């Protein structure tokens, strides 16, 4: 047995990460099991942040605010089933101009015409308590000149968490994370999305709140609360995604192929933080990595460990075509539920053959039929281009 250096719990020698708190166990244990030859540099590509792939980064400035009328819409939903377009506008006074680290402007005639969403969480077929949580925030800002709207921005923030921990720990952890991320994100979301450094700090602060609660309540092993996290932020054509754990974000598009013929495409744009992927990155053969009993054990989560041991994955990119995003907990996507059924359950939504709410209800039903062993939560976000 191997002893976790963080929570002191006993783990089987085959485990690289603690089954209770997720902390990394001594590397020599893994070397003894797999052998040094198995741990060679990985040929698996990673996805580091690459802002050079985006057209020139500039700071957006809004001039002559004193002579313009500022209008903003805000709509927020939590823990329920909603499908709404952007709400009616209202005046927002004392609008502060806060600079962001990163702003991306795409030189194109393509514009974001609308954002709509549908979100729903379900307890599943075998659980008594729902430890998932989510939130959606919309904002629309218009600056009116003397005779017409001179600028209009559309933006959305979507956060989903899948909690874990003894008693009510998972439910508490996911709620803390959702509230903390949303509250911290808003002040830095004026003219642009928060940059990578700021978003990393936002996530780490949410982690620290949960970690401190664990420490204060002296939670150990299975009683130590934690949560996964996925974040989708949209500001006009600029998009940022961030995640910790194994909750996922997918996107569905109709993209032109080499012959300029539109072909539907599903892409998982997050990569699970689990033992399997870490072993693949070390060069372990897929068959060996997948056969391990701890292959799908989380290597990262919010809450169990201090923030200096947390490495959120963050990526920026630009919208170039009408896109359907799906944020979901593992109860929704386990057993390849999305990969095997996206053409029947997601593509019709993208093609407007099925409305968002109907499509979401069908998706949750699919998750319960294929899985059902866990809570399941899904948020569908449709970004329509003009």
Domain holding 55: CATH number? Answer: 3.60.40.10
Residue 15 lies in a domain: no
CA-to-CA distance for 218 and 223, rounded, in angstroms?
9
Band (pLDDT 50/70/90 cuts) for residue 144 is low
Q: For the chain, what is the domain count? A: 1
Parallel, antiparallel or unpaired: strands 376-385 and 82-84: unpaired
Q: Is residue 25 part of a domain?
A: no
User: Which residue is it, tokens 């803390």?
Assistant: 176
The whole-model pTM stands at 0.74
Residue 175 resides in a domain: yes
Of 34 and 69, which is predicted with more confidence? 34
Q: Residue 6, Cα to own-chain centre: how many angstroms?
A: 27
Q: Does 109 reside within a domain? A: yes
Residue 308: partners with Cβ closer than 8 Å, 6 or more residues away? none
State pLDDT tens for residues 249-306. Answer: 999 999 888 888 889 999 999 999 999 999 999 999 999 999 999 999 999 999 999 9
Q: How confident is the model over 212-254, as pLDDT tens digits?
A: 999 999 999 888 999 999 999 999 999 999 999 999 999 999 9
Token pair of 141, please? 């800002």
Q: Is residue 53 part of a domain?
A: yes
- Residue 29, domain member (yes or no): no
More confident of the two residues 342 and 111: 342
**Sign of the torsion angle spanned by Cα atoms 239, 210, 118, 262:** positive
Per the domain annotation, does 265 fall within a domain? yes
CA distance 153 to 140: 6
The whole-number pLDDT of residue 192 equals 87
* Domain span at 250: 40-385
The mean predicted confidence, pLDDT, of the chain is 79
In this model, does residue 36 exceed pLDDT 60?
no
Strand segments (E) across 338-375: none
Triad 25, 27, 33: Cα angle to 5°: 100
Q: State percent of the chain over pLDDT 70.
A: 69
Q: How confident is the model at residue 68 (pLDDT cuts 50, 70, 90)?
A: very low
| Residue 262 forms part of a structural domain | yes
Kindly indicate the confidence band of residue 9, based on its pLDDT and cuts at 50, 70 and 90: low
Hey, what are 196's tokens?
């990578």
CA–CA gap between residue 301 and residue 44 (Å, rounded): 23
* CB burial readout 33-48, b (16+ within 10 A) else e: ebeeebeeeeeeeeee
Task: Catalogue the E-assigned strands of the chain.
Answer: 2-3, 10-11, 69-78, 82-84, 90-91, 112-122, 132-144, 149-164, 226-227, 229-235, 238-244, 248-256, 262-268, 313-318, 323-328, 376-385
């Amino acid at each position: 047995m191997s002893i976790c250096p963080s929570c002191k719990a006993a783990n089987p020698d085959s485990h690289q990460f603690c089954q209770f708190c997720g902390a990394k166990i001594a590397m020599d244990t893994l070397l003894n099991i797999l052998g040094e030859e198995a741990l060679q540099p990985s040929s698996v590509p990673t996805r580091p942040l690459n802002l050079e792939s985006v057209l020139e980064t500039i700071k957006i400035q809004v001039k002559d605010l004193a002579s313009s009328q500022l209008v903003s819409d805000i709509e927020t939903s939590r823990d329920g089933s909603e499908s709404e377009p952007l709400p009616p506008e209202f005046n927002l006074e004392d609008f502060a101009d806060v600079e962001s680290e990163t702003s991306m402007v795409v030189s194109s005639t393509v514009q974001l015409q609308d954002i709509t969403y549908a979100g729903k969480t379900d307890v599943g077929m075998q659980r008594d308590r729902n430890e998932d949580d989510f939130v959606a925030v919309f904002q629309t800002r218009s600056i009116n000149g003397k005779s017409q709207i001179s600028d209009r921005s559309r933006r959305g923030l979507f956060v989903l968490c899948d909690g874990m921990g003894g008693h009510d720990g998972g439910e508490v952890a996911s709620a803390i994370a959702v509230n903390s991320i949303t509250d911290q994100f808003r002040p830095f979301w004026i003219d642009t999305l928060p940059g990578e450094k700021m978003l990393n700090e936002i996530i780490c602060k949410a982690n620290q709140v949960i970690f401190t609660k664990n420490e204060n309540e002296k939670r150990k092993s299975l009683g130590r609360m934690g949560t996964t996290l996925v974040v989708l932020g949209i500001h006009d054509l600029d998009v940022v995604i961030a995640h910790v754990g194994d909750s996922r974000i997918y996107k569905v598009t109709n993209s032109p192929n080499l012959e300029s013929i539109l072909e539907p495409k599903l892409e998982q744009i997050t990569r699970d933080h689990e033992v399997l992927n870490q072993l693949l990155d070390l060069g372990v053969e897929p068959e060996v990595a997948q056969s391990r009993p701890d292959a799908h054990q989380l290597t990262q989560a919010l809450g169990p460990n201090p923030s200096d041991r947390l490495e959120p994955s963050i990526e920026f990119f630009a919208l170039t075509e009408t896109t359907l995003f799906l944020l979901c907990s593992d109860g929704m996507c386990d057993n390849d539920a999305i990969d095997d059924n996206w053409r029947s359950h997601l593509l019709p939504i993208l093609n407007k053959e099925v409305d968002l709410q109907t499509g979401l209800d069908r998706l949750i039903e699919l998750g319960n039929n294929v899985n059902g062993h866990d809570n399941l939560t899904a948020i569908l976000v449709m970004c329509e281009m003009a």
